[in-house]
Amino acid sequence: MTTPSRGRRRAPSRMERAAGKAAALQRPRVILALLLLLALVCVMLLDGYLRAEVGGDQRVRTGAASSDVPDDILNGGPIVTFRGGQATTVSVPDKTIALTFDDGPNPTWTPQVLEILEKYDVPATFFLVGSMVSRYPGIVEDMVGQGHEVGIHTFTHVDLSYQSDTRVRREMEQTQLALAGAAGITTTLFRAPYSSETDAIDNYSWPVYKKLGQDGYTSVFVDTDSDDWKRPGVSKIVQWATPTKNKGASVLFHDAGGERSQTIEALPQYIEKMRAKGYTFTTISGVMELRNAAAPGAFDGSRLQAAHREATGAVLYEGKALVAAVAVAEAAVPTLSVGLMVVGVAVMGRFGMMLILARRHYRQRNRRRFSWGPTVTEPVSVIVPAYNEKECIANTLTSLAHSTHPIEIIVVDDGSTDGTADIAESLGMPNVRVIRQANAGKPAALNNGVRNAAHDIVVMMDGDTVFEPDTVRQLVQPFADPEVGAVAGNAKVGNRTTVIGAWQHIEYVMGFNLDRRMYDLLRCMPTIPGAIGAFRREAVLQVGGMSEDTLAEDTDITIAMHRAGWRVVYQEHARAWTEAPGSLKQLWSQRYRWSYGTMQALWKHRKSLTDKGPSGRFGRVGMPLVVLFQIVTPVFAPLIDLFTLYSMVFIDFRAALLAWCAVLGVQLLCAAYAFRLDREKYRYLLMMPLQQLAYRQMMYLVLIHSCVTALTGGRLRWQKLKRTGEVGTPAGAS
Catalytic residue IDs:
102, 254
Q: CB within 8 A of 31, min separation 6: which ones?
A: none
What residues are paired with 173 via a beta bridge?
A: none
Nearest to 488 by CA among 454, 520, 465: 520
Contact 526, 622 (CB under 8 A): yes
565: three-class secondary structure by DSSP? coil
Alpha-carbon distance 384 to 536, whole Å? 16
Nearest to 464 by CA among 585, 573, 586: 586
Alpha-carbon distance 208 to 63, whole Å? 17
**Packing angle between helix 137-145 and helix 165-183, nearest 10 degrees?**
70
Alpha-carbon distance 271 to 120, whole Å? 8
Q: Is the peptide bond before 111 cis (omega within 30 degrees of 0)?
A: no
DSSP assignment string, 48-66: HHHTTSSS-------S---
Alpha-carbon distance 552 to 463, whole Å? 17
Scored b (16 or more CB within 10 A) or e, 49-69 reads: bbbbbbeeeeeeeeeeebeeb
Distance between first and last Cα of the chain: 42
Contact 639, 339 (CB under 8 A): yes
CA 62 to chain centre: 42
Alpha-carbon distance 711 to 482, whole Å? 41
Q: CB within 8 A of 375, min separation 6: which ones?
A: 477, 480
What residues are paired with 467 via a beta bridge?
A: 576
Residue 226: other Cβ atoms inside 10 A: 24
Alpha-carbon distance 525 to 630, whole Å? 13
Nearest to 721 by CA among 626, 536, 583: 583
Contact 462, 721 (CB under 8 A): no
Alpha-carbon distance 527 to 515, whole Å? 10
Sign, CA torsion 234/240/243/249: negative
Following CA atoms 656, 657, 663, 665 in sequence, which dihedral angle do they give, to the nearest 10 degrees? -160
Alpha-carbon distance 676 to 673, whole Å? 5
